[in-house]
Structure formats: structure tokens, C-alpha cells
Structure 1
Amino acid sequence: MLNQLPILSNLQHLVHRFYMYMTVDNSIGPKAIQWKPELHLQRNIDLYKTQHDQFAALLHQKNEQGLVQFWLDMALNNLPSKYNWEPENRIDKAWGHLTLYCEESCYRAASKVWRENQCKCWEEYIFLARCLIYDPVKFRVILAKYDPNISPLYAYIIEVLRKTIKDEGAVAKFSKWRLLCKKSNKELKEALIRYGICEPEVSRFLFACKYFKQVYQFNKIQNPATRRGQRWVEPDSNDFQEAAQYYNAEKVLAIAPHQVAVGKNVTGEQLQGWMETCITALQNYPQSIAPSISLEVMGAVSCKIESDGGFDVEIEDSTPEQESLCQRTDVVLQHEFLALNDDQKEILYLYYGLGWNQKQIAAKFAVTQGAIARRLHTIERKLINALYSLKQPPQWVTGYVTSWLNYNYETPDYSDLIQAALVTAVKQLNTQSQDLLRLYYGQKLDTNAISNQLHLLPDTVNELLSQTNYELEIALLKELDIMIRNFLNIWLAKQYKNINDYNSNSQSKHLILT
């Protein structure tokens, strides 16, 4: 947390204010605020500088009011008329220029409030200011009320932000418990991660915070005995104990995150420690004031961020092994596809190529709909078995489930479809099986401790663990079967689309030639 205001460095040219944002630099000496360019907005400025004579002339004026009015006219009134060389999203870019222009006003407004009242970290004040200017709805309302005949835009914005910060940042409102209650789950999660908290603790903290907020709201905020102006009072041990009871009761339900369900029950003292950690994380959030931090949080207020090339997203290239598997998959399917008889190929063409339903196909072949359904199933099963021969799931699933239980049970990777399927499979087990997994793989208890807790013989515990592992393997094989079916449907649809496209092109060429 900052105990003094960082120094704001000066910009070399007034036009820089329309495409540069503030960031804290503490690499050398005291903290200072540096300016960094938003690249897609810088490119937009360069475009207008070379293509728009009136805009180029404004760059040579002594103040930026002409540039301000240029972007205001475009953002609010879509003026002047659009030229062919201008970007299609020129209005969005105009709003971006005006938003960054108000960055310095955020600093000035936060500085004024902080000098009057230093009860809160200065970064929290500037965060409140940025929340306002990066909210497209509120920012539009503010600018619509601006009168250039009364004051320059930067002075107008400073006054608006100063009042907003003072209102939002009143001393009574800056209780640390208010901070915890008012922050969204998205903000809290990001703050915890930036503070160094990892899974499964992040999910458990968020789940606990949900019930603490409910208890605190009812016991303290809405309590008639609480005096006005003293709403954000200190919670007592009963509040934490009650929240812990809700946590323990709800963690066994299907709605609870997997990381919560597999963990231990918590006490009131533990939950209080979790909430204190959450508050500390929030108080140190954000640790810099770059827009990338504030802008991510703007999702809570539906702020649209357009990078337009300003941020590069790296996509991991496919490995040679993955490419080889894709190629082998296509070869195997093509081989099996060509080996089908004429009736089977026609059924597939009608179903995937022309989009006929089973009833229509049955009428063409003079058979029942059930017969067509069985033929489709037979064909699909043949193709699925061909895919199974490539990776042989029955051989690797057992080892995969065992490895996942030992190493990823508490912190599954939900971006991995197989791990996500295993989490779903765990929730579908009976209560005893879930308890066994939670105790053995989640809490790392040995079979003797589990047998004492569940009043089972150690041999029975081992048998049940083996049975549970087997149930997860079966569930995973079923899910893989569904995944392969979905992939096969996509492959067949694409196959017949290519055939249709080829036929259409051939007919077009024939018509041209004749």
C-alpha cells in the first residue's frame, strides 16, 4: 500500500494524452507513474495525422481543447462525416481516446481526495476514479453533460471524479468489511491470485466468502439495532461460526465447487482467517495502476475493451505428435468410409449431406425408421471402433484415472475435457464413494484412519476404493465414447459438405463451358 503519492511524469506532447495510460514504475528508487502507449490508439492517431488535414492542424495548437472537441464530436454525434480511409469502429476508438485523455484527471482527482483524507490507500482512490471513466454507460452520461464554454474537459472531469471518490470513499464506507462485501467474485478471485493464493484455496475462499457475506449482511447490515453510520461494524465470533456452519452444510451439495467438496470442514476461526486474507489481498489490489488491471475488472460494469492488435494473444502450436494423430485419424476414417457398401454411403449422404431425418430416409428405402436408426448406429459404431484402435482408451484410461486421483484430484484442470468429465463423474457417485475419495485423495488419510472415521474394516475401505476407481474408469470411457461420437458427427458433416461444394463447383464450371 502506498504511504505517499507517486510522482506523475510529464508528457512530451499534448497529443500523447490521447493514447497513453499510466503505470507505476518502482524499479528504480521511489515509486513514480510512467506513461505507456496503447498501441492501437497510437496507430489511429498516426492515421488521422497523415490523412486528415484539420486534425493535423489541431496538433500544432497550444492546448488540447481542439483535439478534445474533435473526438467528442465523433464519439457523441458521429461527426464529421466518415471518410473511406477511416476505420469502421472509429466511434469506439474516439471513446478510447477520450478515456485515456481522462487518465491524468483520475490522478489529479485522487490526489486531491487523498490529501484531504489519507485513511485509505491512494491506489484505491484512483481505482474508484477509473471505474467511472472505463464504464462506457456512465462515461457517456458524464461527457453528454459537459459544456466546453464553462471549463476545459480535464477540469470538469477532475471535479466529477473528486465528488465520486469522496462519495464512494467516505470514511464510514471504507471499513475493511465493506471492502470485502462490495467487491465482486471476479475482483476477489483476481486479487487472491495476485496475492499468491492458489487452488484449491481460491475456490474455498470464494465459497466461504459467499456465506460470510450473507451472514454479515443479515446480522450486522440489516440489523435494526445497528445505528445509521455504523453499518460496517466488526463481525463477532458468532458471525464466523454461523458462516462456517453454512459452508460445511453446503459443501456436500452438487452446487459446491469440486475443490470445496473434497476439502475438510472448517471452523469459525479458520473462516475468519480466510476472510482476513481476502481483505489483505483486496487492500493490495491492484498492485499497479496499469489499465490492464482496472480494465479486466471493468467486466463487472460491462466495459467493452477493444485491443485491435494492442494485445497479442499467443496460441500454442500443435505438437508433431498431435498433428500426426490428426493425420492418422483422417486416414483411418477415410479408409473405413470407403469400405462402406453403397447403401451405407447413401444413408450417410442423405443424413449428413442433405440433412434428411431418419423418417425420410426410411421412406426412400421402404423400411421402418427403427431400421434406419440401427443402420446408422452400426455405421457409427464401426467408425468409432476404428478411432478406438488409434489410442486404445481401455488400455490408458486406468492409468489416467489413477494419476488424476493422486495428483489432480484437489485441483482439476477444467480446460481439460477429460479432467472435467472426471469431476462430473465424481459428483455422480454415491455419498460413501465421494467420502472415500475426499478422505483418501483430498485429505490424504490412510486406510486405517478412514476405517475409523467411517466405521469400516480396512479391507473394506480398500475394496471400496478399488470399486470407486473402476466406476470412474467406466464413466470416463462412456464420456470418451460421447466425445468421439460428437467428433465423428462433425467429421461426417464436414466430409459431405466438401463433397457438395465439389459437386456445386463442377456443375458451375460445366455451365460456363457450355
Structure 2
Amino acid sequence: MLNQLPILLKHQHLAHRFYMYMIVDNSINRRAIQWRPELHLQRNIDLYQTQHDLFATLLNQKNEQGLVQFWLDIALNNLPSKYNWEPENRIQKAWEHLSLYCEDSCYRAALQVWKENRCKCWEEYIFIARCLIYDPVKFREILAKYDPSISPLYVYIIEVLRKTIKDEGAVAKFSKWRLLCKKSNKELKEALIRYGIFEPEVSRFLFARKYFRQIYQFNKIQNPATRSGQRWIEPDSNDFQEAAQYYNAEKSLAIAPHQVAIAKDVTSEQLHRWMEICITALRNYPQSIIPRISLEVISTVSYEIEPSLGFYLEIENSIFEQKSLCQRTDAVLQQELLALNDNQKEILYLYYGLGWNQKQIAAKFAVTQGAIARRLQTIERRLINAVYSLKQPPQWVTGYVTTWLKYNYETPDNSDLIHAALVIAIQRLNAQSQNLLRLYYGQKLDTNAISKQLCLPLSIVNELLSQINYELECALFKELDLIIRKFLDIWLNKKYQYIKNQNFILQSQQLILA
């Protein structure tokens, strides 16, 4: 740990105090604390500045106490009366503005305690303070006792936080290793994303934390030799070494995420660094700290992708093209249905509309059940070929697989059906093929380096890579066929259920008229 608490820069504008939060930046040689905007709160400030004359006036004053009181009135008393242009959740936003206003006080209080007692790291002191101001129940209790006639809010908050840090720090309630062990995968994932860690590292960090937590808890927490007062003691090198061994042994199993399975083995030192990054990310963004992960943050890095639109083969990137493909698919299938003969149409209606089984349909047509099964298969294949004609898989699958391996091998989109199919196909390859992909697309080694490492002729390496591409293309063709079959089953069910309902309505109307 550094023995010097970084200097926190002052806000350049009064409004910044109500929509910016602290984050520890490790991107330079020494740590620094920087301010980052919470975008939805920044927009809220802009809204009030343009719509509320008093608020705009308060923003231009040198003293922030007027703005503090403005948000306090809304948060504690829902005053003044709400304007139509104000957000429905204005009380919640007021609390969030006040919490972010107190971020600076967290730093000041932590600084005071740290100067008195440097036996603990300053990050821990800041973390204890932030947990309090983002606890909605405790924070409300604190502000309810605040008297603006005695002192400004920041002075009052610093004193409350200073006492809290001393009390909580004395019992080691907020050990960083406790924090790492107690947080869920969802919380850690959100913290890492906000901190600027994305795939494939996120999956690897989560997988590493799983084994470190097991080893640490067994060796340190559940160890009878550990005294209760030393419950969350520092892990030693053996803990990280053992966790790394488990990580490397388990990463080749089916339980390991794709991003983990394709990566190199991890060393104990690397795993230790990963856990420290996780701790820093959690301290910057624990679940109890409300600045939520903004949609803008997600969309900027394209980390979360909305699920694809059903089973249509949407390889286009634009929404317009996706909708166009859906419409064209529907039109082609409608045209194919119209071209069927009367017997084929009746079979589909009985099967999908009325829910008859093949045996019942066979009895009606006085043929065998196998004959009906073959007729259904003939119709299905005709419709599949019609869908294939829209995107012509033979023409794009080869290029798609090559591009995917180059750009998405390490970071597949699990919500994309084609990405998921390729991941499964890779998992079904033999060990040699998986290792080749790991070296070529994961570790970015050229074929000459791979040839030397595996003691294989260069021509064999190139031949194997081509063979792997071909195997993945074949697997993708099979998966596309299954996807289209599933889609057709859904489409035909909806189509003939609609026809059945329309027939029922028509018959009812005829009975009424009769």
C-alpha cells in the first residue's frame, strides 16, 4: 500500500459537487483520485438549470449551501410542490445528488483519520465513509439530525464520517479481503465494468476469485488456528499459489467460461494482481454505493448487447436491416404457403392449427403415419430452403467464421445465437485443435512460433488451422439449420393458430346471422 494519500482535486464548478464521484485511477505510476460524472445526475442538473430560475441563480453563487438546502427540501420534505417538467423520481434523485455532494467529505474525513492512524490503508477509510453516505436508511437518519444554523452540511458530515471511520475501523469490519469474499459475482462484474475492465478479463477475474475465495476461506477463515480478532488476515503467497493451481487445473473443464478456457495459465503473482484490481474496483463501486452503472457507460464500450430478435438470421448490424430481413422472411414464407397444394395446406392446418398428431392425420388421409411424417418433412425442407435463399449461408459462412475468430474469439457475445454456436463448436473440437486456436487467436502467436512451440512442420500447422476453420463452418451450417427449424416451428404455430381463430370468428358470425 502506498503511504501517501493522493491529493483530491477541487471541483471546477459548483454544479460538479452534485453529480461527480471519486474513483481511484491506477493508470499512472502512482495512484490518483479523480472525479467522474454520473451522467443521469448531470442531465438532471442541466434540466433544473434550464427550467428552474431559482436553481439557476443558486448555481451561480460561490457558496453551495443554497443548493444543498434546495436538495434537502426535496429529499426530506418533498418541497416545494412538484412542477410538471420535474422527473417522477425527483426525491430519489435529490438523495443521489446529496450523496455525491458528500463524496468530498468522505475524502476529508478519511484524510483526518489517516493522519492520526496510518496503520490501515487510506482506501479502507474512504470505503467505510462511502458505505455510510450511500446507505439510504443511515444517510437519511444523519441528514434528519442536521441543523443548518449550526454548521454547513459538509462540516457536519465530515465529523459524522470521522467518528464512523474510527469506530468501524477499530473492529476491522471492512477488511478488503472480507469485501472481496462477500460480494456476489454480479456485484463484482458491475464494479469491474465501471472500473474499465471488460471481457475477456472480467470472466477470468471472476473465475480466479472463485478459487481464491475457496482457498482463502479454508486456509485463513475456517482455520482453527486463526483467532477471532484476526478473522480477515492477509493472505500469503501459498494462498495465491494454491488458487492459481486450481484455476489452471479447472480452466480446461466444461465448467470454465470460454474466455477462461482459451487463455494461458495464470501465475500466482498474476492472480494476486487480479484480486487487488477486484478490490480496488469494489471500493470504487461497492453495491452499497448507489452511483449506478450508467447506460452510457455500457453503450460506449458495447459491453452489454440487447438480445437478438428471435430466430431470424440477423447478421446485419443496423436495426433497419434487421427489420427488413424479418419482413422479407415473413413474405417469402407466406408465398411458399400459398404455393402448396390443398393436401399440404390441410396437413399443416391440422398439425399446427388444431394440434392433431401424425397418427390422427394419417387416419384422416388413409395413409401410414410414416407417409405423413415424410410429407411434413418435405414441406419443412421447402420452407427452410426459402429462408436460406434470403441470406445464402454458403456465401457468407466462410467469411463469417474467419472474421469471428479474428475479432470475437476472445470476446464472444453470449446473446448472439451464432456466437454461442461457434463457442459450443470450439468446445467440441479435439484438444489439439483447441490448443491451436488458443495459440493463434488467443495468444496471437504467428504460425512460425506455433510450429516451433509444438514441434510441428509449418505446413502441418497451416493445414490444421484450415481444417479447424472448415470444421467450424460445418458446425455453423448445422446450427443454422436447427435455428431455422426452431423458428419455423414457432412461425407455423403462430400462423395456423391465427387462422384457426379467424375461422372460429367467421363461424360464430355466420351462426349469429343464421
TM-score normalised according to structure 1 size = 0.68
Cα distance in 1 for partners of 2:465, 2:459 equals: 10
Pairing 1:91-490 to 2, within 5 Å after superposition: 124-125=127-128, 128-129=131-132, 133=136, 171-285=171-285, 290-292=290-292, 319-490=319-490
Task: Say whether the 8 Å CA contact 2:351–2:358 is kept in structure 1.
Answer: yes
What letter matches 1:218 in structure 2?
A: F
Q: Which structure 1 segments of 5+ residues have no match?
A: 8-19, 40-66, 72-91, 134-138, 144-160, 295-315
Q: 1:465: Cα distance to partner?
A: 1.5
Which string of whole-angstrom CA distances, capped at 9 and with x for unpartnered residues, describes residues 404-441 of structure 1? 11111111122221111111111111111111111111
Cα distance in 2 for partners of 1:436, 1:317 equals: 30
Match of 2:493 in 1: 493
Change (3 A) 1:383 1:244: same
Change (3 A) 1:365 1:276: same
- Matched length: 450
Cα distance in 2 for partners of 1:244, 1:174 equals: 25
Q: 1:224: Cα distance to partner?
A: 1.9
Change (3 A) 1:170 1:373: farther
Q: 1:450: Cα distance to partner?
A: 2.3
Cα distance in 2 for partners of 1:245, 1:4 equals: 39
Task: Say whether the 8 Å CA contact 1:397–1:476 is kept in structure 2.
Answer: yes
Change (3 A) 1:120 1:182: farther
Change (3 A) 1:256 1:365: same
Which string of whole-angstrom CA distances, capped at 9 and with x for unpartnered residues, describes residues 320-359 of structure 1? 3333322322221112111111111111101111112222
Change (3 A) 1:100 1:195: closer
Change (3 A) 1:129 1:4: farther
What letter matches 1:211 in structure 2?
A: Y
Task: Say whether the 8 Å CA contact 1:329–1:387 is kept in structure 2.
Answer: yes
Which string of whole-angstrom CA distances, capped at 9 and with x for unpartnered residues, describes residues 366-391 of structure 1? 33333222211111011001111111
Cα distance in 2 for partners of 1:277, 1:437 equals: 28
Q: Which structure 2 segments of 5+ residues have no match?
A: 11-17, 24-32, 45-73, 79-88, 116-120, 141-160, 295-315
DSSP 3-state at the match of 2:199: coil
Which string of whole-angstrom CA distances, capped at 9 and with x for unpartnered residues, describes residues 288-335 of structure 1? 9555359xxxxxxxxxxxxxxxxxxxxx99633333322322221112
Cα distance in 2 for partners of 1:491, 1:108 equals: 59
Match of 2:65 in 1: none
Higher deviation after alignment, 326-335 or 363-372: 363-372
What letter matches 2:348 in structure 1?
A: L
Cα distance in 1 for partners of 2:288, 2:183 equals: 18
Q: 1:451: Cα distance to partner?
A: 3.1
Cα distance in 1 for partners of 2:491, 2:226 equals: 64
What letter matches 1:250 in structure 2?
A: E
Which string of whole-angstrom CA distances, capped at 9 and with x for unpartnered residues, describes residues 466-488 of structure 1? 11111111111111111111111
Q: 1:101: Cα distance to partner?
A: 11
Identity %: 68
Cα distance in 1 for partners of 2:377, 2:100 equals: 62
Cα distance in 1 for partners of 2:97, 2:437 equals: 52
Cα distance in 1 for partners of 2:42, 2:406 equals: 47
Cα distance in 2 for partners of 1:400, 1:393 equals: 10
Higher deviation after alignment, 166-175 or 190-199: 166-175
DSSP 3-state at the match of 1:475: helix
Change (3 A) 1:452 1:427: same
RMSD, matched Cα:
5.2
Change (3 A) 1:206 1:481: same
Match of 1:79 in 2: none
Task: Say whether the 8 Å CA contact 1:448–1:458 is kept in structure 2.
Answer: yes
Cα distance in 1 for partners of 2:322, 2:293 equals: 35
Cα distance in 1 for partners of 2:208, 2:37 equals: 38
Cα distance in 2 for partners of 1:204, 1:32 equals: 28
Q: 1:264: Cα distance to partner?
A: 0.5
Change (3 A) 1:34 1:191: closer
Task: Say whether the 8 Å CA contact 1:393–1:477 is kept in structure 2.
Answer: yes
Change (3 A) 1:261 1:361: same
Task: Say whether the 8 Å CA contact 1:21–1:290 is kept in structure 2.
Answer: no
Cα distance in 1 for partners of 2:177, 2:413 equals: 32
Higher deviation after alignment, 228-237 or 238-247: 228-237
Task: Say whether the 8 Å CA contact 1:398–1:473 is kept in structure 2.
Answer: yes
Q: 1:364: Cα distance to partner?
A: 2.0
Q: 1:226: Cα distance to partner?
A: 1.8
Change (3 A) 1:289 1:70: closer
TM-score normalised according to structure 2 size = 0.68
Match of 2:504 in 1: 504
DSSP 3-state at the match of 1:173: coil
